Amino acid sequence: MKLAISAFLAAYLALPATAKMDLRMLDKYEGANCLDGSAGAYYIEKSATPSTKYQLFFEGGGWCYNDKDCANRATGDLGSSKNYPAQTDRMGGVASADCDLNPAFCDFNFVFMKYCDGNSFSGALESTVHIDETEQDLHFRGHYILEAVMTDLISNEGMDQVTELSLTGCSAGGLSTFLHSDYVQEFVSSQVSQDFKYGATPVSGFFLMDRQNVHDEFVMSAQMKTIFELSNATVGVHQGCIENTDAENQWKCNTAPEALKHIEQPIFVLDSSMDSWQSGCIMTNKAIDYDKTATRDMPNGLCSQAEGFEDCGGDVGNCNDEQIYSVVEYQGSFVRLLTNAAGYQKDNSGAFIYPCFTHCAGQDDNSFRGFTVDGTNMSTAVNDWWQGVGVNGAVTKSYLSQIYNLDSSNPNPTC
Ligand SMILES: *[C@@H]1O[C@H](CO)[C@@H](O)[C@H](O)[C@H]1NC(C)=O
Ligand SMILES: *[C@@H]1O[C@H](CO)[C@@H](O)[C@H](O)[C@H]1NC(C)=O
C-alpha cells in the first residue's frame, strides 16, 4: 500500500505543475460591473520567459435574453464576481502554453477575461434595470469591463510595451472576439506609442443568430434583439457595422456574420460548419414563454426542443434522412455567410472550418492537435496564419471542410 502511494506521488510530481492564473479584480474602475453590480475581473498568467506578447481570451457562457433571465444569471458566476477563486486553471488549444501544441501563442502573457455581463462584453447601459420580484438591480456594463481590462493591463501588467497582441475566446467569447476585434486594436493603439502585431482568432463564435429554426421561427433572432436593446449595446458592438446599418437592424451588429462584413483587422476563424451548440440552440430551438414558465434556470433558451427534432438537434447523428436536409442547408448557410463576408476576404484573414460535431474544439488540446482539413492540423493552420500577419506578400490559406452532400452514403457530420 505504502509503495503504491509513493509510486503514485512520484508519477504525480513528475508531471508539470498545472498552470494557474491569478485573479485581478477591476474594483478601481467605476462602472466596470457584472450584472449584479460586483466588480468585473480577469485572470492573468505571465509567460514563463519575460514577454511583451499578450493574448486576451474572452470567457464564454451563452447569453441571457431578457430581464428575468438576466436576473437569474446575476446570481451565479456568469453574472457576479463574488465567488471567483483567487486562482483558476488555464484552457488549452489556441490558449495553451505548450509550444509543441501551440507554437503561435505559447509564450504570450495570457489574460482570461471573466464573462459576467450577459451580452458578450457589449452592454453600455447608464442606468440599472430594477427587478421588482427579487429586488435586484441589474447592470449591463460589458463594454466598460472590457475597457477596464485593457486599461489595467496597460497601467499595471506591462501591456504598455506590447509587441504582439492576440484576441481570442470561445462560444459567447468567440462572438466577443468578432464584435470587439477592431475595437481592441484601436483602443490599445490609442494608449501605447509603438506599433504591434495584431490578430483575432474567434473559436466557435460564428453563430447564425439571424436565422430561423427548422420550423421557420426566428427564435434566436428575437432573443438577441432583446438583449441588444436591454443592454444598450449600440456603442459596444462593431462600430463600422452600426454606422452602416439602419436603427431597426442594428441588433444584427451583435452577431458575428454581420460584424464580419465590417471587420478590418486580421482574423482567423476556428469553427465547425455544424457546431453542436448551434444545432440545438439555433437550428432546433424553441421559443420560451417566460411568463408561463415556472423555472428561471434556462440560460440558453429551450435548446433541441423544436417539435420532431428533439433527438436530431442534440446529436445530428440521430437525424433521419429528411432532417439531414436541414443540417446540410445550415452548413451551406454557414460557409456562405463566412466566405462572402468582406472581413474574411481581406489579406491576412482566413478560416479553419472542420465538419466535426463539437463546440469549442479550438481550446481543446486533442482537437487542436488532431482535427485536420486538407491534411493540415488546426495548430499548424493557426501558426501559419499568425506568422504571415503583417508580412508583405504572405498569403493566408483557408481550410474549409467539405460540406455534407446528400449523395454521400453518410452525410452526417463526423470527424
Ligand atoms: C501538426 O502537423 C504538423 C505537420 O504534420 C506536425 O509537425 C505537428 O507536430 C502537428 N502538431 C501537433 C500539435 O500535433
Ligand atoms: C445608451 O448608449 C448610448 C451610447 O450609444 C448613450 O448615449 C445613452 O445614454 C445610453 N442610454 C442609456 C439609457 O443608458
Q: Collapse the DSSP code of 165 into the 3-class scheme (helix H, G, I; strand E, B; otherwise coil) and give the result.
A: strand
Whether the per-residue pLDDT at 368 is higher than 70: the answer is: yes
Does ligand 2 come within 6 angstroms of the Cβ of 127? yes
User: Cα–Cα distance between 163 and 165 in angstroms, integer?
Assistant: 7
Query: With contact defined as beta carbons under 8 Å apart, do 216 and 125 qualify?
Result: no
Dihedrals phi, psi of 94, to nearest 5 degrees: -65, -15
Looking from the CA of 323 toward its CB, the CA atoms found within 13 Å total: 20
> How far away, in angstroms, is 15 Cα from ligand 1 center?
22
pLDDT in tens, 182-194: 999 999 999 999 9
pTM of the predicted structure, to 2 decimals: 0.93
Which CATH number, 3.40.50, 2.60.40, 2.30.110, 3.40.630, labels domain 19-400?
3.40.50
The residue that leads in pLDDT, 177 or 304, is: 177
Q: Choose the residue to mutate in 119, 234, 238 for probing ligand 2, maximizing ligand atoms within 8 Å of C-beta.
A: 234
Query: With contact defined as beta carbons under 8 Å apart, do 241 and 258 qualify?
Result: yes
Residue 200 backbone zone (phi > 0: left; psi -120 to 50: alpha; other: beta): beta
The residue that leads in pLDDT, 289 or 161, is: 161
Dihedrals phi, psi of 55, to nearest 5 degrees: -115, 125
Whether the per-residue pLDDT at 17 is higher than 50: the answer is: no
Whether the per-residue pLDDT at 299 is higher than 50: the answer is: no
Q: Which pLDDT belongs to residue 405?
A: 55
- Split at pLDDT 50, 70, 90, the class of 404 is low
Q: Collapse the DSSP code of 200 into the 3-class scheme (helix H, G, I; strand E, B; otherwise coil) and give the result.
A: strand
Whether the per-residue pLDDT at 295 is higher than 60: the answer is: no
| Strand pairing class (399-400; 350-354) | parallel
Q: Which pLDDT belongs to residue 6?
A: 44
> How far away, in angstroms, is 378 Cα from ligand 1 center?
9
pLDDT in tens, 173-224: 999 999 999 999 999 999 999 999 999 999 999 999 999 999 999 999 999 9
Dihedrals phi, psi of 169, to nearest 5 degrees: 155, 160
What average pLDDT does this structure show over 70-86?
A: 97
Dihedrals phi, psi of 152, to nearest 5 degrees: -65, -40
Whether the per-residue pLDDT at 16 is higher than 50: the answer is: no
> How far away, in angstroms, is 21 Cα from ligand 2 center?
34
Whether the per-residue pLDDT at 30 is higher than 60: the answer is: yes
Give the residue extent of every domain in the chain. Answer: 19-400
Q: How does DSSP classify residue 298?
A: -
pLDDT in tens, 113-167: 999 999 999 999 999 999 999 999 999 999 999 999 999 999 999 999 999 999 9
What average pLDDT does this structure show over 287-306?
A: 67
Does ligand 2 come within 6 angstroms of the Cβ of 230? no
